[in-house]
Amino acid sequence: MRNKFIRLSGAGVAIAIAVISNTSSRSANAAVPPQGWDSNHNPTWMMPTYEAHLNLLPMEASLPAANTPWSDTYWPSDHGGIAFRWNTPNPQGFGYRLHSLAELKAMTTNEVATLSPAEKYDIYMGRYDYPLVARERSRTSPYAADWEGICHGWSPASLHNPEPMPNYVANRDGIIIPFGSSDIKALLSVFYAYASFDNIGHYRFIGTRCQSLPRRGLGRIFRRPDGTCIGANPGAFHLALGNMIGLTKQGFVADLNRNLQVWNQPVLGYKSQMGRMHGASRRAAPSAVSEIEVITTMFYTSEIEPTFEPVVGTEAQKIENEEYHYTIELNGQGEIVGGEWLNNNHPDFIWSVDKIEFNEVTGSVDFTGIKDIYRTAAQMPPAPIPNPAPAPSPVPHL
């Protein structure tokens, strides 16, 4: 086993992740001559074995409808993360008073419904010292940049877990806790975010994070001398689309922002159009004999305001797309060995992580209770919305 450490910012939270790759399994592609990517962009980081022949990869594909990643907020840090009381006419993320057991027993179910996802989880676990709220308050700040949050948790959580239904559960003290769909999504998202801090999970990357501030008026394709800010190699990117989404129906995460900010989005589909083919350029991979121009539209799930009801299959679900222009470099056997972006619009890096079971204590918080809340919610019909249902507060999104 080999470890590769990459600095990743999940919507602003900088973390060091160990990316584990089984080098012994790379022999399936050992026959491919020298490629046009370095070790940071090698597709074997995400796919130990893969189909390299361009003509064997689907021109368009999408994840099955049942596996559509769900929209939700990225739980902005300047709102308090998942300690944000969103389901109330007067939303709060900081400075509110936490309720004692006696106070909770005197509250109505509608009043409990207005608490934050973190509060609800702590109450469900019988932890009236509120460790998850405390963890979120230590992680977030009202002065954080508005793009910071847990999109690095939301993206993989939405790819690995079907959208949760609302669920009413009782804790050991008999308190009824209404979990809306976004409350449970918040728990799934923060679990994956905290797991990344603790290096829990098998992470795979293609590309490197750009550390540059946003720049205007970029004419030529922007490159840093250290090789960053060039985006994930488009040949490797196309292989990931074709193999993961096209052949094995697995989604992955893409950082769509090319500068210091990180906007992780779950990718669910693509459609490619092939343009003219010509001989290999001077910058092409050593083994390339030809290049073909490609226009690919990539589809991904985007952020919305938190909701009590599920959104997949409704107008509230938000699917967006980006159009990418690039060349694919081919060797004499028609295998993809590299590529070049033709403009400055492209993903910074792409990554995936295996599904993580809810049996971990991470970030000093016991997350084992999520399994019971989510499992029940995923199998139940929709619960009634508390009446009257407080209006959700708008949450900024990309």
User: Which residues lie below 8 Å from residue 69, measured CB to CB, with a gap of 6+?
Assistant: 63, 155, 158, 159, 251, 266, 268, 301
Amino acid at 121: Y
SS3 373: helix
> Residue-wise pLDDT tens for the chain (398 aa)?
233 333 344 443 333 333 333 332 333 443 343 567 888 889 998 999 999 999 999 999 999 999 999 999 999 999 999 999 999 999 999 999 999 999 999 999 999 999 999 999 999 999 999 999 999 999 999 999 999 999 999 999 999 999 999 999 999 999 999 999 999 999 999 999 988 777 777 889 998 888 765 554 444 444 444 455 778 999 999 999 999 999 999 999 999 987 778 899 999 999 999 999 999 998 899 999 999 999 999 999 999 999 999 999 999 999 999 999 999 999 999 999 999 999 989 999 999 999 988 876 666 788 889 988 996 545 665 555 565 444 444 444 33
User: Which residues lie below 8 Å from residue 29, measured CB to CB, with a gap of 6+?
Assistant: 44, 49, 50, 52
Quote the CA–CA distance of 188 and 182 in Å, as a whole number: 10
Is 83 exposed, middle or buried (CB count within 10 Å of its CB: 0-12, 13-18, 19+)? buried
Extents of the domains making up the chain: 1-214+222-398
Quote the CA–CA distance of 223 and 220 in Å, as a whole number: 9
Ramachandran sector of residue 231 (left: φ over 0; alpha: ψ -120 to 50; beta: rest): left
Asked if 48 contacts 240 with a C-beta cutoff of 8 angstroms, the reply is: no
User: Which residues make beta-bridge pairs with 218?
Assistant: none
Amino acid at 340: E
pLDDT computed for residue 190 by the predictor: 95
Asked if 294 contacts 272 with a C-beta cutoff of 8 angstroms, the reply is: yes
Quote the CA–CA distance of 363 and 354 in Å, as a whole number: 19
Amino acid at 72: D
Check residue 178 and report its DSSP letter: E
